[in-house]
Structure 1
Amino acid sequence: MENFYLFVIMSMLLILLPGPDTAIATRNTLSAGRVGGFKTLVGTFCALLIHTLAAVIGLSAIIVKSALLFSIFKYVGAVYLVYLGIKTLLALKSKSAIGNEDTGSIRKYKNQSHFKQGFLTNMLNPKVAVFFLTFLPQFVHPDSDTLVPFILMGLTYAILTAVWFIMYILLVDQISAFMKRPKTTTVIESITGAVLIGFGIKLAMEKAHQ
């Protein structure tokens, strides 16, 4: 394995870029506190481990090289992101039409799906598979065994992602008193819903890398 420290630096820069995972973590942390955020993080982390395993055994390569499989993952992932975005926007109307007790019960129900949301958002994104197959090989010598380096880099990327999101979730939770003000919440959830829909549309327009 070559330039491991460079890989760590590049990974950190990529992880800091906001994406669907960040939007989901933000929404769930605001709606259910750090518990909801951490459940989302665990889902994302598990999906990254599966992507790592898929890259190691070559399944990701098959998905990336097959236009049909890539399209299936792309459109399913895009539809799911748009669904979450629309669900977030519709929840704003529900909050204004129900009392505090109903709001609490809805949050309790939503909290049960936070892991699934984090997992599916990352798992159904074919760009993650493309990332693993195009980014990781740059740090491995072509004549060496790639099994152990791929596993090491995949685990490193997943751990770095977890560390960043732990800090991010704790930060959002700390300032949640301000962010949970009715007007602030409305603005944040409106932006989050629009961003998720935007990411879904952007994902649907992605072309397979041949």
Structure 2
Amino acid sequence: MLSHFLLFSITSFLLIIVPGPDTAVTTRNTLLHGRKGGIQTTIGTCLAISIHTTAAAIGLSAIIMKSALAFSIFKYLGAAYLLFMGYKAFRAMRQQKPLPQVAEASETPYSKKSLIAQGFYTNILNPKVAVFFLTFFPQFVLPHTNTTLSFLGLGLLYITIKFVWFLTYIYIINTIRIWIQKPAVQAAMDGMTGAIFVAFGIKLALEKSH
């Protein structure tokens, strides 16, 4: 059983470190608001994952996966949100306003709830995440065990791995904030982040239900 969970942990970690919309929004909020901003965004992401896990455990993800209408609704809402985030990043790039100094990061005006919401909506509105949990987790559910409890246990382990990794990532990004605060670098980062959001938004919009 120990080797079973070790394999799940290693596989999950490799999947988590692959950059995606969660990474993009966490990077941007860490650069704008410091370590606390990045952590709050990650909390929102983990809250969304907990809902995806619970939904998969009770079968709601299967409904989304099989219902073309439900899949499309979530797909287009998620794509629209990612495109909106891309628009915000491109608008910031055009303004090219210097980021606040690291020492003043705690004084930067922002809404804690809005950062948590950004992490949450970026993840929860992506139907592919729901399908991922429904297809990935069953491979690690041990036979003759309670499927619901197994899903929830694997979900908790996945969230823990993701949170620890993102804390490490946030620390690294926050460490190089001083260099990234240069207007030219900041504009390039905003442009790159915007392009990532738009690319993922278009990709999500073109996804087909299986």
Q: Which residue of 1 aligns with 2:147?
A: 146
1:84 corresponding residue in structure 2: 85
TM normalised by structure 1 equals 0.90
Identify the residue that residue 11 of structure 2 maps to in structure 1: 10
Q: Is the 8 A contact 1:32 1:111 kept in 2?
A: no
Which residue identity is paired with 1:24? Answer: V
Aligned partner of 1:156 in structure 2 is: 157
Structure 1 residue aligned with 2:56: 55
Residue aligning to 1:130: 131
Q: Which residue of 2 aligns with 1:165?
A: 166
* In 1, Cα distance between equivalents of 2:49 and 2:8: 16
Q: Which runs of 5+ in 1 are unaligned?
A: none
Distance 2:15 2:115 in 1: 23
Matching residue of 2:209: 208
Instruction: Measure, in 2, the Cα distance between the counterparts of 1:166 and 1:14.
Output: 16
Q: CA deviation at 1:139?
A: 1.1
Is the 1:140–1:146 contact (alpha carbons within 8 Å) kept by the matching residues of 2?
A: yes
Question: What percentage of residue pairs aligned between the two structures are identical?
Answer: 52
Q: State the alpha-carbon separation in 2 of the partners of residues 12 and 37 from structure 1.
A: 19
Matched, 1:188 2:195: no
Q: SS at the partner of 2:157? A: helix
CA drift at 1:184: 0.7
- State the TM-score, normalizing by the size of structure 2: 0.90
Cα deviation 1:104-132 (Å, max 9, x = unaligned)? 9xx52466521111000000011110110
Q: Shift of the alpha carbon at 1:179?
A: 1.2
Instruction: Report the number of matched residues.
Output: 202
Q: C-alpha offsets along residues 3-53 of structure 1, whole Å, 9 cap, x if unaligned?
A: 221111100000010000000000000011111111101100100111111
Alpha-carbon distance in 2 for matches of 1:117, 1:23: 11
Larger mean Cα displacement after TM superposition, 86-95 or 72-81: 86-95
Q: RMSD across aligned C-alpha pairs, in angstroms?
A: 1.9
For structure 2, which runs of at least 5 residues remain unmatched after alignment? Answer: none
Structure 2 distance, partners of 1:202, 1:110, is 29
> Could you tell me which amino acid in structure 1 is paired with residue 67 of structure 2?
S
User: Aligned residue for 2:109?
Assistant: 108
Q: Distance in 2 between matches of 1:30 and 1:170?
A: 11
Letter in 2 for 1:149: S
1:110-167 CA-partner distances (Å, limit 9, x unpaired): 6652111100000001111011000000112455421211111011111111000000
Q: Aligned partners of 1:155, 1:167: CA distance in 2, in Å?
A: 19
Distance in 2 (alpha carbons) for counterparts of 1:188 and 1:48 = 27
The list of structure 1 runs, each at least 4 consecutive aligned residues, that deviate by more than 4 angstroms after superposition, is none
CA shift at 1:93, angstroms? 2.6
